[in-house]
């Protein structure tokens, strides 16, 4: 049986993952409305990944005899400014999620919940990837500056992203 503290912390993380999914879906819609279909595709896959992160936590909680409790999710913004500032928001959001995952891991340490410690290691590694891929796009957008031909190329490339 999982402790109450661990359960509460996991339920908070389920909410955070679904809020991330909601944010990225809104970004995808923004891109597609502006005819940046490739950026939209990249963000749609990101949305699916975040939903997957939430589901994995929910399934784990059930497996441990816990009670998943779904909380309200705030509406995300609908406008994100320039492409660079939008991807900077993706990066800073992922840095925020990394901090949440680390706090969650600290709960598992304090509770001496060894199973949760092992389970959460996957999320710690995943956040390294999440930050790296967002950071790479930010750096590439900085290199492009106002080069719209290159922007067109990057949009095409991000559009090739598929769900794992
Ligand atoms: Fe779930 O990793 Fe991004 O937020």
Q: What pLDDT is recorded for position 148? A: 73
At 44, which CATH number? 1.20.1260.10
Residue with tokens 């996991």: 10
* Domain encompassing residue 66: 4-158
Residue 164 within a domain? no
Residue 149 inside a domain? The answer is yes
Binding site membership of 50 for ligand 1 (Cβ less than 6 Å): yes
Exposed e or buried b per residue across 95-110, where buried means at least 16 C-beta atoms within 10 angstroms of its C-beta: eebbebbeebbebbee
pTM: 0.93
Residue 125: per-residue pLDDT = 98
Looking at residue 146, what is its pLDDT?
Answer: 66
Does ligand 1 have an atom closer than 6 angstroms to the CB of 113? no
Q: Is the CB of 155 under 6 A from ligand 1?
A: no
Residue 96: predicted pLDDT: 98
> Is 80 a member of any domain?
yes
Residue-wise DSSP of 1-22: ---HHHHHHHHHHHHHHHHHHH
Chunk the chain into consecutive blocks of 10 residues (it has 164) and report each block's average pLDDT, rounded to whole numbers. 97 98 98 96 98 98 98 97 97 98 98 98 98 95 79 87 85
């Amino acid at each position: 049986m999982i402790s109450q503290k661990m359960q509460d912390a996991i339920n908070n993380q389920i909410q955070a993952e679904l809020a991330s999914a909601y944010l990225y879906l809104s970004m995808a819609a923004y891109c597609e409305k502006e005819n940046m279909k490739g950026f939209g595709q990249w963000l749609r896959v990101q949305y699916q990944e975040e939903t997957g992160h939430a589901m994995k936590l929910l399934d784990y909680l059930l497996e441990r005899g816990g009670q998943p409790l779904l909380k309200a999710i705030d509406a995300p913004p609908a406008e994100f400014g320039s492409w660079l500032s939008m991807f900077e928001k993706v990066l800073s959001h992922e840095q925020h999620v990394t901090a949440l995952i680390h706090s969650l891991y600290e709960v598992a340490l304090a509770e001496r919940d060894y199973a949760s410690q092992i389970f959460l290691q996957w999320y710690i590694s995943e956040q390294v990837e999440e930050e790296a891929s967002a950071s790479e796009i930010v750096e590439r957008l900085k290199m492009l500056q106002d080069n719209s031909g290159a922007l067109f190329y990057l949009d095409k490339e991000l559009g090739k992203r598929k769900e794992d």
